[in-house]
Homo-oligomer: A and B are copies of this chain.
Amino acid sequence: MAAVNVIPESRLSSNRLNLSCFKCSLCNLCSSYTLNTKEEGDCFHEFIKRGDTINRGEYLFKEHRTFESLFSVRSGAFKTYLEAENGEVQITGFYLPGDIIGLDSTNTNTYNCSAKALELSSFCEIPFPQLEKFASENSQVQHHFFSVMSAEIQTSRQLTWLLSKKSAEERIVFFLLNLSARFKQRNLSATHFRLPMARIDIGNYLGLAVETVSRVLTRFHKTGLISAQGREVVLSDVSALVEITKHD
């Protein structure tokens, strides 16, 4: 059977995240706020450790482990999740290059979630005590960190709204458009990309059954809004997608 939307050749060159394509937001912070004298892009903080690469399925950290560091994604992608005693899992976020992982754990001695690599990835490790010390010596760094945390709260609030008020279709559109915007920020294509996560992870994150995710994506594909073949996605009609988000 002929697909309504044939995935164009261009998807073969769709974006991958296994490239270091984005400076970590801490480096951005440093170069923009505090170190105009340093060379562009130079990650100057001697206390920040460049981590090894990490394979798909491996942990950056597990819940309840002693909290020592934040992590900045250099390449690849991660998911964070909570896990109940009964094994029930709730994915709390997907992290792309430049994102910082662990901000929800700074008030405890242990990590409050687990972080797992979705694909071959790399990262930087930022020891928190030293970051705090650095921030206390530099009010702009402190201010920036308040901002980063505040933004994390807002992101979570947006998700709350999504879960509380939006239909399955709307949730998935928001999800796709959010990913699209984040890829764009990273100078990657906003319309042709590869999902770093499985359908079941999308469903878990958005509070939907896998089957629902699959059905909605199929429906969008059939009506020409997107092309989806496995993890390769093309947003074919962005304005129609945006329209869906405006359903009252």
Report A's interface with B, CB cutoff 8 A.
Answer: 82, 86, 88, 90, 92, 103-108, 112-113, 132-133, 135-136, 139, 142-143, 145-154, 156-157, 159-161, 163-165, 204-207, 246, 248
Contacts and interface: CB of A to CB of B under 8 A. Distances in A.
A81 to B, nearest CB: 10
B248 A157 contact: no
A88 B170 CA distance: 14
Contacts of A90: 157, 160-161, 164-165
A146 B128 CA distance: 11
22 contacts: A86-B246, A86-B248, A90-B161, A90-B164, A90-B165, A92-B157, A104-B153, A105-B150, A106-B149, A107-B151, A107-B154, A108-B150, A113-B157, A149-B153, A153-B153, A153-B156, A159-B160, A160-B160, A164-B204, A164-B205, A164-B206, A165-B207
Nearest to A93: B157
Contact of A136 (B103, B142, B206): B142
Contacts of A146: 106-107, 132, 145, 149
Contact of A207 (B103, B152, B164): B164
Contacts of A136: 136, 139, 142
Going nearest first, the 4 A-B pairs with the smallest beta carbon separation are: A164-B207, A107-B147, A107-B150, A156-B156
Contacts of A152: 153
A112 B152 CA distance: 13
Contact of A103 (B82, B150, B161): B150
A149 B206 CA distance: 24
Contacts of A248: 86, 88
Contacts of A104: 150, 153-154, 157
A147 B92 contact: no
A103 B156 CA distance: 13
